């Protein structure tokens, strides 16, 4: 068979004398080179991995830190080394839970001295005022839909006010907390933030000119308890009335960039100020919507300032290396100077911007400033984009429609009506391939997740996240490839007027249709995170426009090169969210309890992230002559990952500090004494150890430590039939209601009863025929880290209608089939004076006789010591020592007293 190109050359030769020496190259659309060799499919995977590596670098890249040697060149800059010196001292205090001597006497006194030094060295033009607030109060709050009453006694706040030029026109507030959870030094959460604030205050106080507005710096001493000192400030401090906006500095990790993950609510001018001021942006609307959905088991003071202070603000947190969050490894050894430098640069610039902007003094009076939500995001940390949610809705719909109309028009011009029907058909084939690939990938990852969990290999990726690429990433890509190949096989049309390239481009329009069908409902539902999909659709639209402008419609190779060129920013954008979400949620699976298989969460994240990455790449498999090489290599990668996860030490979830990257399993263990009256009137005592199941693998370790025959699931305890709320040391709605706990009987803890807070009935008065008042005295005379909880369960026919804790009585929570009011009490500084509280109960005399001997309610008075190591019994110490090195144990001692009144 003669070569077609040879025939073309012979025809050309006969046209003129000089043509015998000239070869006319064929046009790309006249060749049969639409299909590519199989190895080109591997290039797509290489491109994906390359872009993922680049985006990972950009997500974690930090600026160089400044030292004191740089002061002469940068006299008004944030100096990380000075902040580091403050952090070192706070770190050396060790764990600082509220009520402990380290927190109430050590850290508080150190910060107070530093504030006085800053005040003494301030520029003569500045006015620095300090305030040491010791405050008590109470407020209602709900977690996971369960109401509780949060009470704090003698919590401490250290407050500084840097006066502005316009002292009566509002103030900006910066907030951090210097307390920590038990067993954690809290270098990142939240000592680093307090060190950053000290340095920012130091820099601003030495400026030769005042800012336009005042700036309040709040160093609060009771955030982990939770969120109590912030409430004490906004509800009682005289400077709280001036605050018009705030910046809350938090942490859920020990490194990386500080992410802006909440802004407002509404008040879009705050986001605009962030965009103007911040040099190194890291902010995503999707982070805000995820956090506010309740998926993340944490909360911040932002909630208090928003709900009780009615003040808008911005919430920042570090999220990298969340393995160390609330563990003994949250130390200065795992932080770096660049982390402080980046945070300090950004927060200092934002503070200056807000403290000198017009909006701050109008925020309380101008209703227009408070209206509207913002869509905001950084692009790989390089620049910041923001616009109003209303503009976002128009933008989303416009791009979604144009991404369908423009490529269809461009393709229709090439085939001039005869192939328009084929274009529509192939567009629907592309839609079907994407939908079926998405659905099948979800089924596959959920199946893999189920089987890994059933095989006892849950969380094999916990310390080795790269395994996720093989365990879930490769299967997701394989399933999408198979889906598109099957659609190509089932719906190929040999009589189509479209060539292969036009067919593939039509199927890419089907991908646009898929995203349009997703974006428009999300937009109508006011889900601002739809911008993630809009950006990749915008890049596809730009690719179509450039194809048309450059005339590449009939040049397959050039069109393909252009399409892949636009896939580079698409992949950088998509892999950024892969890193952002997995770096956040992988450590969280270590503290989300065992009720949900974490494999499902990670598998779904990878399936969604995979779709985002490859939706515009997978249809290109139609250009390959064969896909066997691509699928074979992906299969091999997946099999290697499965072997590593299931058959080697690589797949073991946890690590100690030996590799300098600890990723521990968390365990709360409480040595408990239960005291309650028996059915015959005697007082009975039980004792033992309560274990909290913090992750999917915890039960296996607990049963290994506690011996399988002795460990009893909490809700199967004998005391669940005889005691209020099973007689467990109930202090956390999250841990007690959501998590599965275990109990083993054991000897009683050693207690110094004089150090226990007391709850004693001092008076009972019949207010009316249907109302009775009970007065109790509560004392906390010793400087110990102890938290109390009151669980008040009215008997049938009785109701708690009023109390002296606050004006309202929140509803009850349910546990073990019982309803009760839950009150959490945290003590800061010790107080010799007793505290009297009253409870008013209404009851139906027909149900409960009107006699003072009738019992109206049961009370569980729980006291939990978080720092009691010098009083641990030998049995408790031996139990703790049985946990492996890669476990982080938070021990405590608790006493539960149950009484009827």
The reported pLDDT for the residue numbered 850 is 53
How many whole angstroms separate alpha carbon 736 and alpha carbon 595?
12
The reported pLDDT for the residue numbered 417 is 65
Q: Which residues pair with 684 in a beta bridge?
A: 676
Q: Reply yes or no on whether the pLDDT at 372 is more than 90.
A: yes
End-to-end distance of the chain based on CA atoms, in angstroms? Answer: 104
Q: Reply yes or no on whether the pLDDT at 20 is more than 80.
A: no
How many whole angstroms separate alpha carbon 77 and alpha carbon 58?
24
For residue 627, name the pLDDT band (cuts at 50, 70, 90): confident
The reported pLDDT for the residue numbered 623 is 86
Please state the φ and ψ torsions of residue 840, each to the nearest 5 degrees.
-105, 125
How many whole angstroms separate alpha carbon 606 and alpha carbon 438?
11
How many whole angstroms separate alpha carbon 581 and alpha carbon 351?
28
Mean pLDDT of 789-803: 95
How many whole angstroms separate alpha carbon 736 and alpha carbon 58?
40
Residue pair 748/685 in contact by the 8 Å Cβ criterion: yes
For domain 68-381, the CATH superfamily is Zn peptidases (3.40.630.10)
Q: Reply yes or no on whether the pLDDT at 40 is more than 90.
A: no
How many whole angstroms separate alpha carbon 703 and alpha carbon 723?
25
The DSSP-derived string for 738-791 is IS-EEEEE-PPPP--GGGS-EEEEEEEEEEETTEEEEEEEEEE-S---EEEEEE
* In the chain, ranges of CATH 3.40.630.10 domains: 68-381
Nearest to 110 by CA among 251, 247, 219: 219
The reported pLDDT for the residue numbered 708 is 67
Nearest to 234 by CA among 326, 311, 120: 311
Residue pair 692/667 in contact by the 8 Å Cβ criterion: yes
- CA-angle at 138, arms to 132 and 143, nearest 5°: 115
Please report, rounded to a whole number, the percentage of residues in the chain having pLDDT higher than 70: 95
Mean pLDDT of 504-512: 95
The reported pLDDT for the residue numbered 7 is 42
How many helices (H) and strands (E) the chain has is answered by 24, 22
The reported pLDDT for the residue numbered 898 is 95
How many whole angstroms separate alpha carbon 382 and alpha carbon 76?
24
Burial class of residue 81 in the structure, from the number of CB atoms within 10 Å of its CB (0-12 exposed, 13-18 middle, 19+ buried): middle
> Dihedral of the CA atoms 630, 635, 641, 647 (nearest 10)?
-150
Name the average pLDDT for the chain: 91
Residue pair 825/139 in contact by the 8 Å Cβ criterion: no
- CA-angle at 176, arms to 190 and 225, nearest 5°: 70
Residue pair 663/325 in contact by the 8 Å Cβ criterion: no
Residue pair 171/242 in contact by the 8 Å Cβ criterion: yes
Beta pairing class for 741-745 and 758-768? unpaired
Q: Reply yes or no on whether the pLDDT at 34 is more than 70.
A: no
The reported pLDDT for the residue numbered 510 is 96
Cβ within 8 Å of residue 91, ≥6 positions away: 185, 187, 191, 331, 332
Residue pair 380/55 in contact by the 8 Å Cβ criterion: yes
The reported pLDDT for the residue numbered 628 is 83
The reported pLDDT for the residue numbered 5 is 41
How many whole angstroms separate alpha carbon 66 and alpha carbon 78?
8
Q: Reply yes or no on whether the pLDDT at 726 is more than 50.
A: yes
Q: Over the stretch 433-463, which tens digit does the pLDDT of each residue have? A: 999 999 999 999 999 999 999 999 999 999 9
Residue pair 622/507 in contact by the 8 Å Cβ criterion: yes
Highest mean pLDDT among 9-23, 133-147, 354-368, 464-478: 464-478
The reported pLDDT for the residue numbered 418 is 67
Please state the φ and ψ torsions of residue 786, each to the nearest 5 degrees.
-135, 140
Cβ within 8 Å of residue 622, ≥6 positions away: 484, 488, 500, 503, 504, 507
Q: What is the pTM assigned to this prediction? A: 0.92
The reported pLDDT for the residue numbered 24 is 41
The reported pLDDT for the residue numbered 624 is 84
The reported pLDDT for the residue numbered 212 is 95
For residue 32, name the pLDDT band (cuts at 50, 70, 90): very low
Q: Reply yes or no on whether the pLDDT at 612 is more than 80.
A: yes
The reported pLDDT for the residue numbered 334 is 94
The reported pLDDT for the residue numbered 629 is 85
SS3 annotation, 148-184: EEEEEEEEEEEEEEECCCCCCCCEEEEEEECCCCCCC
For residue 26, name the pLDDT band (cuts at 50, 70, 90): very low
Residue pair 898/723 in contact by the 8 Å Cβ criterion: yes
Q: Reply yes or no on whether the pLDDT at 832 is more than 50.
A: yes
For residue 833, name the pLDDT band (cuts at 50, 70, 90): confident
Residue pair 52/59 in contact by the 8 Å Cβ criterion: no
Residue pair 170/243 in contact by the 8 Å Cβ criterion: yes
SS3 367: helix
The reported pLDDT for the residue numbered 853 is 64
Q: Over the stretch 520-579, which tens digit does the pLDDT of each residue have? A: 999 999 999 999 999 999 999 999 999 999 988 888 889 999 999 999 999 999 999 999
For residue 848, name the pLDDT band (cuts at 50, 70, 90): low
Helix intervals (H) in 551-664? 556-588, 598-614, 628-647
The number of residues in the chain equals 901
Residue pair 564/508 in contact by the 8 Å Cβ criterion: no
How many whole angstroms separate alpha carbon 426 and alpha carbon 432?
9
Q: Over the stretch 186-210, which tens digit does the pLDDT of each residue have? A: 999 999 999 999 999 999 999 999 9
How many whole angstroms separate alpha carbon 703 and alpha carbon 110?
43
Q: Over the stretch 379-432, which tens digit does the pLDDT of each residue have? A: 999 999 999 999 999 999 999 999 999 999 988 887 776 678 899 999 999 999
Report the run of H or E that residue 425 belongs to, with start and end: helix 420-454
How many whole angstroms separate alpha carbon 82 and alpha carbon 61?
22
The DSSP-derived string for 475-536 is HHHHHHHHHHHHHHHHH--TT-SS-HHHHHHHHHHHHHHHHHHHHHHHHHTT-GGGHHHHHH
Give how far Cα 31 sits from Cα of 297, 382, 404, 494, 577, Å.
Answer: 59, 43, 29, 18, 41
Report the run of H or E that residue 131 belongs to, with start and end: strand 128-143
SS3 annotation, 777-833: EEEECCCCCEEEEEEEEECCCEEEEEECCCCCCCCCEEECCEEEEEEEEEECCCEEE
């Amino acid at each position: 068979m003669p070569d077609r190109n040879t025939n073309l050359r012979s025809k050309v030769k006969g046209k003129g004398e000089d043509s015998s020496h000239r070869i006319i190259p064929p046009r790309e659309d006249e060749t049969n080179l639409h299909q590519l060799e199989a190895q080109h499919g591997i290039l797509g995977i290489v491109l994906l991995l390359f872009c993922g590596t680049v985006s990972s670098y950009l997500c974690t890249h930090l600026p160089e830190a400044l030292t004191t040697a740089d002061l002469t060149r940068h006299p008004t800059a944030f100096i990380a080394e000075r902040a580091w010196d403050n952090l070192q001292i706070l770190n050396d205090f060790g764990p600082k839970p509220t009520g402990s001597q380290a927190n109430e006497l050590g850290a508080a006194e150190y910060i107070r001295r530093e504030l006085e030094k800053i005040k003494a060295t301030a520029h003569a033009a500045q006015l620095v005022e300090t305030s040491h607030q010791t405050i008590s109060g109470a407020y209602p709050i709900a977690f996971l839909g369960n109401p509780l009453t949060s009470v704090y006694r003698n919590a401490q706040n250290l407050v500084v006010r840097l006066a502005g030029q316009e002292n009566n026109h509002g103030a900006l507030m910066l907030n951090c907390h210097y307390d920590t959870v038990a067993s954690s030094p809290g270098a990142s959460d939240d000592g680093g933030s307090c060190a950053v604030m000290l340095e920012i205050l130091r820099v601003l106080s030495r400026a030769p000119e005042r800012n336009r507005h005042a700036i309040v710096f709040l160093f609060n001493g009771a955030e982990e308890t939770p969120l109590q000192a912030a409430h004490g400030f906004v509800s009682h401090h005289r400077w709280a009335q001036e605050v018009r906006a705030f910046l809350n500095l938090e942490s859920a990790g020990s490194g990386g960039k500080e992410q802006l993950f909440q802004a407002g609510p509404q008040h879009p001018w705050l986001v605009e100020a962030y965009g103007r001021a911040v040099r190194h942006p890291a902010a995503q609307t999707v982070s805000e919507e995820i956090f506010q959905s309740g998926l993340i088991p944490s909360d911040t003071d932002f909630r208090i300032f928003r709900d009780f202070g009615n003040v808008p603000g911005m919430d920042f947190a570090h999220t990298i290396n969340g393995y160390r969050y609330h563990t003994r490894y949250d130390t200065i050894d795992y932080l770096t100077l660049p982390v402080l430098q980046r945070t300090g640069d950004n927060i200092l610039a934002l503070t200056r911007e807000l403290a000198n902007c017009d909006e701050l003094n109008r925020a309380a009076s101008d209703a227009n400033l408070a209206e509207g939500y913002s869509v905001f995001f950084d692009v790989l940390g390089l620049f910041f984009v923001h616009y109003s949610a209303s503009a976002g809705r128009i933008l989303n719909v416009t791009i979604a429609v144009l991404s369908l109309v423009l490529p269809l028009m461009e393709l229709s011009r090439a085939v001039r009506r005869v192939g328009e029907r084929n274009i529509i058909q192939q567009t629907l084939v592309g839609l079907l391939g994407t939908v079926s690939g998405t659905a099948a990938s979800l089924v596959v990852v959920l199946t893999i997740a189920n089987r890994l969990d059933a095989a006892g290999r849950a969380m094999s990726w916990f310390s080795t996240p790269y395994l996720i690429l093989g365990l879930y990433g490769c299967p997701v890509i394989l399933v999408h490839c198979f889906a598109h190949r099957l659609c190509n096989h089932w719906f190929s049309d040999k009589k189509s007027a479209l060539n292969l390239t036009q067919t593939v481009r039509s199927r890419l329009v089907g991908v646009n249709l898929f995203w349009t069908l997703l974006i428009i409902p999300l937009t109508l539902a006011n889900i601002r995170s739809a911008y993630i999909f809009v950006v990749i659709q915008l890049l596809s639209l730009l690719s179509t426009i450039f194809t048309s402008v450059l005339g590449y419609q009939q040049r397959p190779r050039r069109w393909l090169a252009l399409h892949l060129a636009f896939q580079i920013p698409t992949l950088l954008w998509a892999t950024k969210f892969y890193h952002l979400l997995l770096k956040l949620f992988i450590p969280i699976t270590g503290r989300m309890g065992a009720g949900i298989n974490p494999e499902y969460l990670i598998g779904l994240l990878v399936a969604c992230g995979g779709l985002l990455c490859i939706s515009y790449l997978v249809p290109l498999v139609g250009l390959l002559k064969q896909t066997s090489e691509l699928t074979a290599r992906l299969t091999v990668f997946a099999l290697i990952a499965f072997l590593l996860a299931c058959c080697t030490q690589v797949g073991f979830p946890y690590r100690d500090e030996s590799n300098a990257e600890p990723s521990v399993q968390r365990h709360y263990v409480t040595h408990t004494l239960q005291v309650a009256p028996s059915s015959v009137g005697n007082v009975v005592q039980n004792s033992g150890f309560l274990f909290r199941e913090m992750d999917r693998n915890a039960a296996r370790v607990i049963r290994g430590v506690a011996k399988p025959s002795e460990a009893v699931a909490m809700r199967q305890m004998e005391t669940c039939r005889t005691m209020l709320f099973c007689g467990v040391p109930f202090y956390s709605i999250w841990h007690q209601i959501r998590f599965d706990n275990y109990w083993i009987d054991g000897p009683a803890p050693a207690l110094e009863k004089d150090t226990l807070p007391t709850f004693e009935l001092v008076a009972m008065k019949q207010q009316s025929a249907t109302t009775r008042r009970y007065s109790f005295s509560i004392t906390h005379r010793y400087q110990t880290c102890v938290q109390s909880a009151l669980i008040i369960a009215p008997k049938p026919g009785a109701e708690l209608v009023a109390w002296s804790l606050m004006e309202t009585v929140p509803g009850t929570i349910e546990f073990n089939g019982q309803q009760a009011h839950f009150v959490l009490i945290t003590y800061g500084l010790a107080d010799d004076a007793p505290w009297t509280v009253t409870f008013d109960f209404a009851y139906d005399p027909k149900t409960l006789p009107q006699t003072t001997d009738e019992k109206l309610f049961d009370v569980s008075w729980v006291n939990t010591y978080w720092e009691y190591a010098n009083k641990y019994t030998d049995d408790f110490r031996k139990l703790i020592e049985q946990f492996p090195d890669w476990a982080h144990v938070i021990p405590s001692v608790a006493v539960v007293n149950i009484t009827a009144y």
